């Protein structure tokens, strides 16, 4: 199961690095809506990289690596809860992006470029992370079902 967690970290890292490296020149070269968009994307890239690094350290130091295989259900439940929480955040990012976009269309708002740039960034980030986290949740569910089936077969026939 840890191979899936490390794969999750790699994919998140590869999502964050272009946001950081592409964002830096565009922050200096653009203005208006694009400046806000790339600034927010750069921030998201940095946050995602920090989260990926934290996950890498957490998985690498996880005590379950030295535990018997029967400990896997606890690990699976922990991962499932974390991904479900992340999926909730992802939906919230999309909704907040939509609200920001709606706010940008009102006549009484100052700096509509800020609201549109941030809303686009939030929406894209939320949509990507929703797909990312949903796919990894499905992958963890499939891996756990395979392990559980194998474990039941071994224990059923050995007892």
Run means of pLDDT, 10 residues per run, the chain, 159 residues: 78 93 93 93 94 82 62 80 92 95 84 91 94 92 84 66
What pLDDT score does 156 carry?
62
For residues 83-96, one letter each, b for 16 or more C-beta atoms within 10 angstroms of the residue's C-beta and e for the rest, the string is: beebbeebeebbee
Q: Locate 36 and state its tokens.
A: 């806000």
pLDDT at 108: 80
127, containing H or E segment: helix 112-158
Place of tokens 């796919």: 135
Tokens of 93: 């990012």
- What is the model's pLDDT at position 66? 63
Nearest to 119 by CA among 91, 90, 95, 97: 97
Residue 125: its pLDDT value, please? 94
Please give the Cα distance from 4 to 2 (Å, whole number).
5
Give the sign of the dihedral formed by CA 96, CA 99, CA 105, CA 108.
Answer: negative
Instruction: Report how far residue 5's alpha carbon sits from residue 59's, in angstroms, rounded to the nearest whole number.
Output: 7
Are 83 and 137 in contact by the 8 Å Cβ rule? The answer is: yes
């Amino acid at each position: 199961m840890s191979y899936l967690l490390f794969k999750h970290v790699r994919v998140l890292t590869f999502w964050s690095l272009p946001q950081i490296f592409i964002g830096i020149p565009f922050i200096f070269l653009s203005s208006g809506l694009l400046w806000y968009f790339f600034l927010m994307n750069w921030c998201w890239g940095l946050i995602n990289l920090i989260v990926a690094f934290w996950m890498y350290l957490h998985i690498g130091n996880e005590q379950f690596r030295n535990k018997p295989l029967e400990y896997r259900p606890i690990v699976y439940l922990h991962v499932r809860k974390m991904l479900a929480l992340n999926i909730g955040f992802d939906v919230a990012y999309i909704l907040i992006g939509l609200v920001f976009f709606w706010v940008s269309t009102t006549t009484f708002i100052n700096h509509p470029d800020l609201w549109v740039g941030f809303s686009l960034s939030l929406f894209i980030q939320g949509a990507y992370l929703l797909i990312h986290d949903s796919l990894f949740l499905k992958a963890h569910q499939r891996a756990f079902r395979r392990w559980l089936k194998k474990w039941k077969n071994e224990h059923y026939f050995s007892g």
